[in-house]
Structure 1
Amino acid sequence: MTITHHDEMNGLREIGRIVANTMHAMAKAMEPGMATGELDQIGAALLEREGALSAPQTTYDFPGATCISVNEEIAHGIPGSRVLAKGDLVNIDVSASKNGFYADTGATFRLGAVSPELEQLCRDGKRAMEIGIAQVRSNGPLAGIGKAIGRFAERRGYTLIQNLASHGVGRSLHEYPEEIATWPTRSDRRRINRGLVMTVEPFLSRGGLWAMHGEDDAWTLLAEPCAPVVQYEHTVVATDRGPIVVTLPG
């Protein structure tokens, strides 16, 4: 989607606020002994209260209102009977629509104390997203996002999952540009047009390179090679002055 009118920005900001508030409320509600299905029900109720529709459900018939991925699961985890425990890394990904506008956000949360290594991975995962967002501006190179994130990851000794990309969003969950690399690539010559709406969502890891489907279902993705992975995601709009983040709580 490309923003051309103020009412479009207002609609995008509204759904951005809804998904952000939902994600953070779910994170606050997490506790040891809770099943991921229970956590998803909290998210579903919050979206319904705001008049929003779960984008994974309406777009892909995903078996949950939100995606909840725990520890070895790095994306698209199906909410269900899995019980959360102290020390878990829990990725909550919330995307939804309202009045024809879509927004997408996600973050990895620590349930209680984790090892210093994982604590640092989480901090650096959020920083990697921020570095990528800083590259979003009118007429900037799309490949500049992955180039900047890649420099950061290499300096810190991390790897990046290289088959889970950012994407355009706004009038549907996934739209042009269909794939925006959050790792270095030389083949992408596309530029960012003014008003373009997109996600920035690097998957930072301590060794993982690819996302692979597990054996239990057709949705949940695991890292290959097996390694800790974190993901942080915002929906942003490109302007002449830089990015506007719309998935902020409020």
Structure 2
Amino acid sequence: MTITQEFELTGLKEIGRIVSQTMHAMAAQIEAGMTTAELDDIGRRFLEREGAVSAPKTTYDFPAHTCISVNEEIAHGIAGPRVLKAGDLVNIDVSASKDGFFADTGASFGLGKVVPQLERLCRDGKKAMEIGIAQVGAGKPLAGIGNAVGRFASKGGYTLIRNLASHGVGRSLHEYPQEIATWPTRGDRRKITKGMVLTVEPFLSLGGEWADDGADGWTLYAVPSAPVVQYEHTVVATPRGPLIVTVPH
């Protein structure tokens, strides 16, 4: 969507706050021995209390309220009986709607003490997202996001998953502009317009290059198999730069 009126920004900030607080509430209660279904239920109850509804469930009939991906799973993991263990790499992706506005956020967390390699990957995954967000602004090229993230990834010896892109959001979960690359591209001449709402969500990896479907038809895995982290914010493009709405204010 494109923000043109103040009430639209107010509505977007409200659902942005909700999804952010939901994700952080879930992360704060992760512990070894709990199941991903129990973690998802924390998110469900938080969304319901705030009067919001799960976007993947209502849009795609996803079989959970949030996406929880563990270790070898890199996105769209289905909550269920899987038991979380110390040292796991857990990604929580929360998207929801309220009063006709949608927002999307996500982050990866190490459960307890993780190996130093994963600590570094998490730290740099968040940095990759921040570098991408810094390229958002009215009049700037959409391709600037992926080009900047790509330079950072290459310098750090990382790879990027190249078929999981950022996207427009606001009045629906996925909308124009579709397929916003978070890796280097050529030929994308699209410009970011004033008020454009989009996600920035690079998938940084220690060797993975593509996302492939699993047997359940939802969960995605890295090819080649390697650890992957994802960090995501919903952002509004302004003449002064990016305005992040998925913050727990």
Q: Does 1:172 align with 2:172?
A: yes
User: What residue is the counterpart of 2:43 in the other structure?
Assistant: 43
- For residues 115 and 34 of structure 1, the distance between their equivalents in structure 2, rounded to whole angstroms, comes to 21
User: What residue is the counterpart of 1:127 in the other structure?
Assistant: 127
User: What residue is the counterpart of 1:57 in the other structure?
Assistant: 57
What is the CA distance between 1:187 and its match in structure 2? 1.7
Deviations, residues 156-205 of structure 1 (Å, cap 9, x unaligned): 00000000000000000000001100000002110000000000000000
In structure 1, runs of 5+ residues without a counterpart are none
Where do 1:18-97 residues align within 5 Å? 18-97=18-97
- For residues 213 and 100 of structure 1, the distance between their equivalents in structure 2, rounded to whole angstroms, comes to 30
Letter in 2 for 1:247: T
- For residues 84 and 107 of structure 1, the distance between their equivalents in structure 2, rounded to whole angstroms, comes to 16
SS at 1:15 equivalent:
helix
Q: Which of structure 1's runs of 4+ aligned residues deviate more than 6 A?
A: none
User: What residue is the counterpart of 1:163 in the other structure?
Assistant: 163
User: What residue is the counterpart of 1:244 in the other structure?
Assistant: 243
Deviations, residues 16-52 of structure 1 (Å, cap 9, x unaligned): 0000000000000111010000100110000000000
In structure 2, runs of 5+ residues without a counterpart are none
What is the CA distance between 1:85 and its match in structure 2? 0.3
Letter in 1 for 2:163: N
What is the CA distance between 1:214 and its match in structure 2? 1.6
Q: Matched residues, percent identical? A: 73
User: What residue is the counterpart of 2:149 in the other structure?
Assistant: 149
User: What residue is the counterpart of 1:224 in the other structure?
Assistant: 223
SS at 1:69 equivalent:
strand
- For residues 179 and 247 of structure 1, the distance between their equivalents in structure 2, rounded to whole angstroms, comes to 20
User: What residue is the counterpart of 1:115 in the other structure?
Assistant: 115
Query: Aligned pair count?
Result: 249
SS at 1:84 equivalent:
coil
Letter in 2 for 1:21: Q
TM-score by length of 1: 0.99
Deviations, residues 54-104 of structure 1 (Å, cap 9, x unaligned): 000000000000000000000000000000000001000000000000000
- For residues 226 and 214 of structure 1, the distance between their equivalents in structure 2, rounded to whole angstroms, comes to 13
- For residues 36 and 209 of structure 2, the distance between their equivalents in structure 1, rounded to whole angstroms, comes to 26
User: What residue is the counterpart of 2:201 in the other structure?
Assistant: 201
TM-score by length of 2: 1.00
- For residues 191 and 84 of structure 1, the distance between their equivalents in structure 2, rounded to whole angstroms, comes to 42
SS at 1:68 equivalent:
strand
- For residues 101 and 232 of structure 1, the distance between their equivalents in structure 2, rounded to whole angstroms, comes to 21
Letter in 1 for 2:125: G
- For residues 45 and 36 of structure 2, the distance between their equivalents in structure 1, rounded to whole angstroms, comes to 14
- For residues 207 and 93 of structure 1, the distance between their equivalents in structure 2, rounded to whole angstroms, comes to 22
